[in-house]
Amino acid sequence: MKPGSYIEVKTKKGDLLKGTVMQSNDSKILSLKLDSGYNIGLDIKNILSTKELKKEQVKQEVKKEEIKYNKNLKTITILHTGGTVASRVDYKTGAVSPSYDPQDIIRMFPELNKFANIKSRLISNMFSGDMRFGHYNILAKEIQKELNNCDGIILTHGTDTLAFTSAALAFSLENLNKPVILIGAQRSSDRPSSDAAINLLCAVNLIINSQFNEVGICMHGKSDDDFCYLLSACKTKKLHTSRRDAFKAINSNPIAKISKDGKVELLEKYQRKEHKDKLKLKLFNEKLKIGILKAHPNLFKEEVKIYSKFNGLIIEGTGLGHLSVNKIDNITKENEFILKEIKNLSKKIPIIMITQCIFGRVNMNVYSYGRKLQEAGVLGNMMDMTLEAAFIKLAWLLSNYKKIEIKNLINHNFRGELSSRTNYEEEFI
């Protein structure tokens, strides 16, 4: 069977499968894209019979129509970093091929033409997990280039590190006066259950139908396709590997709810940020080393010492912000050495405490753990930052301010990364 053919397969186990044949690198394996959108590899030895239902169709080159500018509509620029939002499946290879020019975007999502003038281009095509500080700087510069020629920007991004990038752009783009909305897709665009289209359409409607003018995230509000939430750039976390509503507001609430029909409902008292000063880029030092130490039982001093040549450290403490630093018997003798290493390290680099708990805030005043850590120079008491926001904020502060200033600046709320109070009645999931 040629790649691209639609076939029916009967297996020796009695399974009846229908799907499109894809190119296989192994002659002993039949690769199928099932109607559900999932790919499957079948050992040819286990196949009883195959039947061709539809032959491979030769693809016709689609003529790209010129996009007409409508002066009555706002202009939105879509910048791409890869991911699945602007992709389509190639059934011969099984690969998802990207399409980034405006004509392709309009052809994939024809509704967009009714709402706005669309500009679209690729910045880089990469997995979000491969991003480094230098990529944040590139994104900030490209966004700055586009802002004078559009009413808002949508950035397509892989979901794995989307919350890091949203925080990085929020800190980098000082005096931002137009919306920069990050979107992603939890399900591949070649699957019927893909969330790419709804996330994109809701982001467009958010820009044209609201006064929001900061960096934000627009993703599914629930697992169905009814609406998306606008989430804070610095108070959001991915809480599920595959659910379409994986992104949740942490120690905060969604800013707005955007329905499929374009209605934008503000859920918080939103105050539009008006900046008199011109947009300024405050970028990242690409050579900075920021470590993350996760508290766990049976910790050793060597685990702290690893970061002696780093520029900063985030500690994911247990509970209210704790680490094993109490010696209570001979078995816990190592804890004394851990505290000593923390004390020595804090004289060289800033150490910020956050909590491994998803919700709530650090309070190192309650138990002896916390008081000892504060005396040792650990910062972050009474803060409620996510790991993503804390990591990015520390890197940004070290990139733009003197190290001596960090102690005071870490507690300053620059981009909504800190909550003035924690609402204990918030829905957790």
Catalytic residue among 159, 161, 165, 236: 159
Rounded-to-integer distance, Cα 419 and Cα 429, Å: 19
Judged by DSSP in three states, 53 sits in strand
Catalytic position from the list 33, 178, 235, 238: 238
- Strands 116-122 and 74-80 come out as parallel
- For helices 133-147 and 162-172, the axis angle rounded to 10 degrees is 60
Which member of 160, 273, 305, 348 is catalytic?
160
- Cα atoms in the Cβ-side hemisphere of radius 13 Å centred on 201: 20
**Dihedral-angle region of residue 112 (phi above 0 means left; psi in -120 to 50 means alpha; beta otherwise):** alpha
Do residues 364 and 378 touch, judged by C-beta distance below 8 A? yes
Residue 188, amino acid: S
**Angle in degrees, 0-180, between the axes of helices 162-172 and 387-400, rounded to the nearest 10:** 30
Name the token pair of 176: 């931002």
Quick one: CA torsion of 68, 71, 72, 73, rounded to 10 degrees? 60
**CA gap 19, 31 in Å, rounded:** 9
Q: Is 160 a catalytic residue?
A: yes
Question: Taking the mean position of all CA atoms in its chain, how far away is CA 374?
Answer: 32
DSSP string, 87-128: EEE-TTT--EEE--SHHHHHHHSTTHHHHEEEEEEES----G
Is the distance from CB of 318 to CB of 366 less than 8 angstroms? Answer: no
Contact 167, 182 (CB under 8 A): no
Give the tokens for residue 133: 């500080």
Which residue has tokens 């750039």?
A: 233
For the purposes of burial, counting CB atoms within 10 Å of the CB of 364, is it exposed (0-12), middle (13-18) or buried (19 or more)?
buried
Q: Does residue 238 have an active-site annotation?
A: yes
Catalytic member of 84, 161, 165, 386: 84
CA gap 115, 95 in Å, rounded: 31
Residues 6+ apart with CB under 8 A from 36: 191, 192
Catalytic (active-site) positions:
84, 159-160, 238
